[in-house]
Structure formats: C-alpha cells, structure tokens
Amino acid sequence: MSQRIEERGKKATTKLSIRKMVLLALFIALSAVGANIKVPSLIGTPAFDSLPGFFAAAVLGSKEGALIAALGHLLTALTAGFPLSLPIHLLITVEMGVSAFVFGYLFKKIHPIVAIIVAITLNGVVAPASFIPILGAGVFYTLLTPLLIASALNIIGAALLAKIPGLARVFKGEDHA
C-alpha cells in the first residue's frame, strides 16, 4: 500500500502542475491579444505576440517560453491569413520557438544583454534570412526593418518586465502574498 502511494507521488511530480498549466494558458492568451497589435508591414504578421513567450522564457523556463512564442506566431499568422503560406509559417513557428528558447537560456545562464542581442539577431535577421532561397532576397529586405523593430520591441519589453523586482517571483510561485 505505501509503495503504491509513493509511486503515485512520483507520478504527480512528473506531470505538469495545475499552476504551470494555468500560467501557460495565461501567457498563450496574452500572445493572442498581442497577435492583434501589429507592427506596420506589408504582410501584417510582425506583432506583439512573442513578448509573453520571451517573458515566460526568462521567468518560467526556456521550454515554456519556446512553446508560448511558437503558438503566439501561429496566432499572429492566423489573424493575418497566413500571408506567406501555411508551410512557411510553420517553419517560422519553429524558428520563433528556437529564438525564445535561446533567449531564456542566455537570460538565465549568461546575461540579459547577451540574451537580448542574440535573440533580436536570431528573430529579426537570421530567421527571415533563412527564407531567402524560398522567397528571394527582395522579400527579406522588404521585411527586415519591420521584423527587426517588432523583435526588438518584444524582446526588450520582455527582458525589462522580467527584471522588475518581484514580478518574476510572482510567476515563479515564490511570492504568495
């Protein structure tokens, strides 16, 4: 009997906690709101959808932030009608997740400024450059400025929020006041 209870306890710790599920849902909902706040561009997908993902990557963890940022991009692409096609937007979704994952890792392990610079470069330059062979250099240069602006606003905003004294502790569950 006690062995069964002990096994149940081990299973419970490996599952996603209710608190974490609620936080993931909250940040995904915030991404949906941000998806509707666009940065002017020709395709209509640069938006504030990734700020919650980058914030979550800095506060909750890289994997969580990657999931939220990736879903945030899908929501933005959906609101814009998938202007670059569904397959291209699925690839961008993966790139967005990678950018947020790297940001979260560097934010915690190296330094927030390094995380900001690398994430803006990945999200605003490297990711769109990866589509030059498919979409051409003209599309890349057309989108570069709005993507850099949106990336910088989302990533710097997330980093600033993550550095607000006490705010990160609330989301980590360290402040129960």
Class of the CATH domain delimited by 2-172: mainly alpha
Taking the C-alpha atoms of residue 27 and residue 109, their distance in angstroms, rounded to an integer, is 23
What is the predicted pLDDT for the residue at 50?
A: 94
Contact 161, 48 (CB under 8 A): no
Domain ranges of the chain: 2-172
* pLDDT tens per residue across span 4-55: 555 555 555 556 788 889 999 999 999 999 988 988 877 777 889 999 999 9
What is the predicted pLDDT for the residue at 9?
A: 53
Using the predicted structure, report yes or no on whether residue 165 has a pLDDT greater than 60: yes
Long-range contacts of 1-7 (CB under 8 A, 24+ apart): none
Q: What separation, in Å, do the N-terminal and C-terminal C-alpha atoms of the chain show? A: 37
The reported pTM is: 0.86
3-class DSSP state of 88? helix
3-class DSSP state of 85? coil
3-class DSSP state of 38? strand
Residue 166: pLDDT band with limits 50, 70, 90: confident
